[in-house]
Amino acid sequence: MRMPQGKKATIKDVAREAKVSISVVSYVLNSSTEKSISPATRDRVMEAAKRLQYVPNRAASGMRRKHSMVIGVVSYWELDVLVFTDMMKGITRKSSAANYRILFCHRESKQDDVSYLQYCQDGSIDGIVFIAPYESLGLIDEAFHIRQMKEAKVPFVVLNGSTHEDGVSYINVDYCGSTYLATSYLIGKGHKDIAYVAPLELHYTELERRLQGYQDAMSNSRLPVRCHDVKELPDCLHGLKAVVTNKSDTAHSVLQAAHKLGIDVPRELAVIAANTEAYSSYLFPPLSTVRIPAERMGELAVETLLEQLTGAAEPKLIMPPCALEIRQTC
């Protein structure tokens, strides 16, 4: 028997081809030991399934098993980025504790590639932790992917999202809190003339929230706001006593500019970055930073997804607090 072109074989077709009942086919293909089936019959069923190129409906068998016990992780991040690796540590730890395995899907920058949804549709995974890239990278249309997951009725959680879609749970970086914490630390050390240095010409959610955190901290202490674009280095450092930057790479540029001008860090200029990179502690001097709680974010993403799978979760936005990592630049 050969299936018509474009038509997929069903378990009924396999049963007819092997001249057995549908239940026998199910027992054989699921390697069930509940029923005694002769080796000859098993071979006949397997040969029929192979001939018809039959692909079992994992979603249906998954319904019988309740769950596949596998979580899909979809990521557009570079694999060597510290925040990503920390997120994966948290995801792995919490998944393992709940007896779940992980199916990792690393995507390239293809805007409309939603091939990862097939793993939910065939029952291979129970839900998705979608790790969105920084909006400023422009790799994907996050809202498009959320719509596709919604339409596929896939349980999912967005990690590091920049959208605000209804009915969606987000575990996000507290970008505003990161710069607020860094600026408040410098204020607490007695600094009053604190400048913010970042790529200000760019307008993305992440950058705007970080700028807001700095402005809020300065405003709450009734101190003047002073912002400089990173392109203004090194000239903008003249006369400054303290600097908060959006990220460690910007702070690295500040340290290089200070060295070029003969400005001593931290004696003449205090510097702190609103995120930590793997190299932050290896800069000279070692850079003071704000640690993004990426591991905790990964754990929370899995916890939230598992709540969805039990039907007990309401959509939520969680932004766990950041933490200071003070080294030698302030």
Tell me the C-alpha to C-alpha distance, in Å, between residue 284 and each of 240, 256, 271, 325, 326.
Answer: 19, 9, 12, 15, 14
What residues contact 236, with CB distance under 8 A and at least 6 apart? Answer: 195, 197, 228
- Whether residues 186 and 280 share a domain: the answer is yes
At 110 the pLDDT is 60
Kindly report the average pLDDT of the chain as a whole number: 89
- Whether residues 137 and 183 share a domain: the answer is no
At 100 the pLDDT is 93
At 39 the pLDDT is 81
Residue 60 confidence (pLDDT) above 60: no
Distance CA 226, CA 324 (A): 22
Once rounded to an integer, what is the mean pLDDT over residues 118-130? Answer: 89
More confident residue, 108 or 268: 268
- Tell me which residue has tokens 């504790």: 97
- Whether residues 285 and 189 share a domain: the answer is yes
- Whether residues 225 and 242 share a domain: the answer is yes
| Measured CA angle at 153 (ends 138, 26), to 5 deg | 125
Once rounded to an integer, what is the mean pLDDT over residues 242-259? Answer: 98
At 316 the pLDDT is 93
pLDDT tens-digit series, residues 153-202: 999 999 999 899 999 999 999 999 999 999 999 999 999 999 999 999 98
Comparing CA positions, the residue from 92, 87, 142 lying closest to residue 114 is 142
Confidence of residue 138 (pLDDT cuts 50, 70, 90): low
* Percent share of the chain, pLDDT over 90: 65
Establish if 277 belongs to a structural domain. Answer: yes
Establish if 111 belongs to a structural domain. Answer: yes
Residue 61 confidence (pLDDT) above 60: no
Establish if 6 belongs to a structural domain. Answer: no
* Percent share of the chain, pLDDT over 70: 90
Establish if 264 belongs to a structural domain. Answer: yes
Distance CA 325, CA 181 (A): 11
Establish if 212 belongs to a structural domain. Answer: yes
Establish if 329 belongs to a structural domain. Answer: no
Distance CA 208, CA 216 (A): 12
At 79 the pLDDT is 86
- Whether residues 300 and 268 share a domain: the answer is no
- Whether residues 80 and 179 share a domain: the answer is no
Tell me if 226 sits within 8 A of 193, measured CB to CB.
Answer: yes
Once rounded to an integer, what is the mean pLDDT over residues 62-90? Answer: 84
At 111 the pLDDT is 61
CATH, residue 51: 1.10.260.40
- Whether residues 77 and 162 share a domain: the answer is yes
Q: Which residues pair with 244 in a beta bridge?
A: 196, 272
- Whether residues 26 and 46 share a domain: the answer is yes
- Whether residues 246 and 103 share a domain: the answer is no
Stated pTM of the model? 0.77
At 120 the pLDDT is 83
Establish if 306 belongs to a structural domain. Answer: yes
Domain range spanning residue 234? 175-291
Confidence of residue 233 (pLDDT cuts 50, 70, 90): very high
Distance CA 209, CA 161 (A): 13
Alpha helices in the chain (DSSP H): 11-18, 22-29, 39-51, 58-65, 82-97, 118-121, 142-151, 175-188, 205-220, 248-261, 294-309
- Whether residues 182 and 237 share a domain: the answer is yes
Count of domains in the chain?
3
Q: Which of 80-84, 124-128, 210-214, 277-281 is most confident? A: 210-214
**Residue 126, CA atoms < 13 Å, CB-side half-sphere:** 22
- Whether residues 256 and 181 share a domain: the answer is yes
CATH, residue 197: 3.40.50.2300
Q: Which residues pair with 245 in a beta bridge?
A: 197, 273
- Whether residues 21 and 75 share a domain: the answer is no
Task: Give Dmax over CA atoms of the chain in angstroms.
Answer: 89
Once rounded to an integer, what is the mean pLDDT over residues 78-104? Answer: 93
More confident residue, 108 or 238: 238
Establish if 328 belongs to a structural domain. Answer: no
Q: Which of 20-34, 66-80, 177-191 is most confident? A: 177-191
What are the CB-based long-range contacts (under 8 Å, 24+) for 132-138? 132/76, 132/158, 132/159, 132/160, 132/161, 132/162, 133/76, 133/77, 133/160, 134/160, 134/204, 134/206, 135/162, 135/204, 135/205, 135/206, 136/202, 136/204, 136/206, 136/207
